[in-house]
Structure 1
Amino acid sequence: MSDYLALYRQYLQSINPALDGEFLIAENLSTNWDEPETALDFHNCAVMALIEAENSPMRSMYVEMAFQSLQRVLEMAVYPLATAHLALVYYLVGDRDLAAQNAFNALVQVLSSVNANYPPGLIYYFPAHNRQELLRDLLETANYSEQTLFLSTEILYRSSLAFYNQNGVRFLELANHVNPNSCHLNRQLGIAKLINQQLEGLFNLHRAVNLDPEDADNLQALYLAYRGLGQQQLANFWLETAKVTGKSWTNLDINQPFTYLDFDRDITLAVEASFRSFVTGVLLAQGDWFEAEMEFWRHSIREGMTVIDVGANAGVYTFSAAHRVGKTGKVIAIEPFSQCIQLLEETCRVNQFSWVYPCRGAASNQGGNVYLSLYQASELNEVVTDAAQLKSDNYEPVPCFTLDSLIDTYQLERVDLLKIDAEGHEVPVLEGSQLLIERFAPIILYENIAANQGSNLAVARWLEGKGYRLYRYRPYLQELLEIESEADLQGILNVIALPERELRD
């Protein structure tokens, strides 16, 4: 056996020693690794490059090698598994449109060639919440077509920005049809449907529990689903059933407005006990926050830093920062919604995050009071400065203040990162931060697209006027690509702004 196939076996066993890839290894003994000639040779070389990329400081080089090898396959022959792996590469580096296009192409290629005799190739899947389960399913079937369908439909639903939007649900349905015995897919689909108030999602959640009755996430999903439907007796049944898992959320009273989720290694995160909250649905379905910039955020923060999170909501960015700055650092979480403040305070209490400061109010360009227009999902709440602009009676009055005022309030000597998610109120936030920005020059991560609005050009222009340069983040490769024109902002959810000092360094 070649060293490459030994490495492939090691890759599988590092994920789960029970994963059995011997069939695939045996089928690929004749791969020409040193001088690839066939489509299968190039495909397998690409898979090994992706495996090498995971833990290599030269990740970009290995990903480029994989990309070039897969492109070579497509030039030589129709090989759907290679097309699916190409879709996976595009997904990894954040090119969701090309990921979806290639995943769909792989799907069509398989469906259009039922009598084709494609050789089985090696299979790769990136680190993800469901990697063990998906690789197990891929390896348990010796059917090449099923393997390609599993992988391509997995990438297809992941290519949607949010799994609960219209396309996300469509593609989740497709993936679930292809692999109906996936616990992970059934839980995601069930949660996605319930977020959209489609009660048939209960079927998928029950199916997930039947597939893995001991999985705490499955049990918590059913508990929350029945709570949301007002079925107190059934909710209590699933709460009691889940107590054997030993999870901390099972010790909470059923009438508590929050529940706990495991987050970012060993954080216990308090979230709304309802699928009305996107945070609750996303974390329980996918195990982590979906925005690619979270990777940048986590890799940028160091011990002792000071971080400000404007629009903290339940605190996914706040507590990822808290975990990394440690006791010598400081995190200020600004949030206007009273219920989210309660969640932030609860997470601080249960994790003993004494260096995190939840601050109720709306950051703006002046002090005083504003109104917070409330929506079913708290992530969509909006600050309104004029009562005449309120669209309903569902609002909260909140105090507002400038970020500059925090310098004295919290005795700030540094601000390293500033995240702004203010649902269209970003410019007033920045206008009230001029002293803070001039004195500390923080890296700024801001939301470029809020709700159904287009690119936030006003923020881009304001920051560029202060000497900042704008970038979009390329995940996995951990690269920043400079935004050179306003047209480049189209479709980018979050933008990273670097001050001159970062560019010099």
Structure 2
Amino acid sequence: MNYIDRYGQFIANNFPHAGLEIFEVVETIGLNTNWEEPQSYLDWHNLGVLAIIDAENAPDLNTRHNHFYFASNCFQKSISYPPSSLHYIMLLDLMGEKTAGIVNTYNCLLQSVHSWLGKGEIIPCGLVFLPPKLRSELVSNLNCTNGYSQAGLMLGMLFYNCYSHKCLEIRWLELAVSLIPDFVLGLLKLGLEQIRRQQYEGL
């Protein structure tokens, strides 16, 4: 089974009634990826996503660890690509290194996202892995037409659904709210955290 067929199987396993259009999106991403000789951030990102999927399906812990290690290398080589930063956070969370995930990815993610906000810059979208409880949103992520939009959508879902109780660092809240300003829950959390820290400016 080739690279893109493996991801197609991942889609089929989670969305047995997925329409043909989503497989066409995946095929387009696959055709734009140099799987055998990765060079661009998109190449490394997509290889990393497949490695996480392979880890999820691994028959034993040793094989799972090997896939995680390969995915980690891939995402580190594409860390300036915002979707890769977020996948790296997920990977480190799966490996039990949650604090490291926050520290190692925040600055790069913040710099790349803030340089884009308001400028309309477009970067290509990549393949997406989401944890099981968020997997119903996989298709909407794949349907994004801009990698920054894809990263913003992922950040909103991951932060509010998976990490909000673990990382109430105000800088993460600020980034999440700047990307998804309509999330009232995020605004409330940001306000409460600012009050807790006695940072009243802007309230």
What's the TM-score once normalised by structure 1's chain length?
0.31
Residue of 139, 151, 154 corresponding to 1:136: 139
Q: Verify: 1:12 aligned to 2:15, yes or no.
A: no
User: For residues 31 and 48 of structure 2, what CA distance do their matches in structure 1 show?
Assistant: 16
Residue of 68, 80, 93 corresponding to 2:73: 68
User: For residues 115 and 30 of structure 1, what CA distance do their matches in structure 2 show?
Assistant: 22
1:66/1:177 Cα in 2 relative to 1: closer, same or farther (>3 Å)? closer
Unaligned runs of at least 5 residues, structure 2: 193-203
State the partner residue of 1:28: 30
User: For residues 151 and 28 of structure 1, what CA distance do their matches in structure 2 show?
Assistant: 20
User: For residues 177 and 117 of structure 1, what CA distance do their matches in structure 2 show?
Assistant: 15
State the partner residue of 1:147: 150
- Measure how far apart 1:178 and its partner are: 2.0
Where 1:34 maps in the other structure, the secondary structure is: coil
State the partner residue of 1:466: none
- Measure how far apart 1:107 and its partner are: 4.5
User: For residues 18 and 143 of structure 1, what CA distance do their matches in structure 2 show?
Assistant: 25
Once superposed, what is the RMSD of the aligned Cα atoms? 3.3
- Measure how far apart 1:41 and its partner are: 1.4
Residue of 51, 54, 69 corresponding to 1:52: 54
- Measure how far apart 1:55 and its partner are: 1.4
Q: How does 1:307-346 map to 2 (within 5 A)?
A: none
Q: Verify: 1:43 aligned to 2:41, yes or no.
A: no
Question: For residue 59 of structure 1, what is the amino acid of its counterpart?
Answer: R
1:172/1:95 Cα in 2 relative to 1: closer, same or farther (>3 Å)? farther
Where 2:88 maps in the other structure, the secondary structure is: helix
What's the TM-score once normalised by structure 2's chain length?
0.71
User: For residues 140 and 176 of structure 1, what CA distance do their matches in structure 2 show?
Assistant: 21
Where 1:149 maps in the other structure, the secondary structure is: helix
1:36/1:18 Cα in 2 relative to 1: closer, same or farther (>3 Å)? same
CA displacement 1:116-145 (0-9 Å, x = unmatched): 442221111122x2321x213212332321
1:62/1:175 Cα in 2 relative to 1: closer, same or farther (>3 Å)? farther
- Measure how far apart 1:54 and its partner are: 0.4
Unaligned runs of at least 5 residues, structure 1: 197-505
Q: Is the 8 A contact 1:24 1:120 kept in 2?
A: no
Q: Verify: 1:159 aligned to 2:158, yes or no.
A: no
- Measure how far apart 1:7 and its partner are: 1.1
User: For residues 17 and 51 of structure 1, what CA distance do their matches in structure 2 show?
Assistant: 17
Q: Is the 8 A contact 2:155 2:176 kept in 1?
A: no
- Measure how far apart 1:71 and its partner are: 1.3
- Measure how far apart 1:69 and its partner are: 1.2
1:141/1:37 Cα in 2 relative to 1: closer, same or farther (>3 Å)? closer
Q: Is the 8 A contact 2:122 2:146 kept in 1?
A: no
- Measure how far apart 1:167 and its partner are: 5.1
CA displacement 1:24-57 (0-9 Å, x = unmatched): 4313314222222222211111111011110102
Q: Over alpha carbons, which structure has the higher Rg? A: 1
Q: Is the 8 A contact 2:51 2:71 kept in 1?
A: yes
Number of equivalences: 178
Q: How does 1:345-356 map to 2 (within 5 A)?
A: none
* 4+ runs deviating over 4 angstroms: none
User: For residues 137 and 175 of structure 1, what CA distance do their matches in structure 2 show?
Assistant: 20
1:95/1:153 Cα in 2 relative to 1: closer, same or farther (>3 Å)? farther
1:104/1:153 Cα in 2 relative to 1: closer, same or farther (>3 Å)? farther
Larger fraction in strand: 1
State the partner residue of 1:100: 102
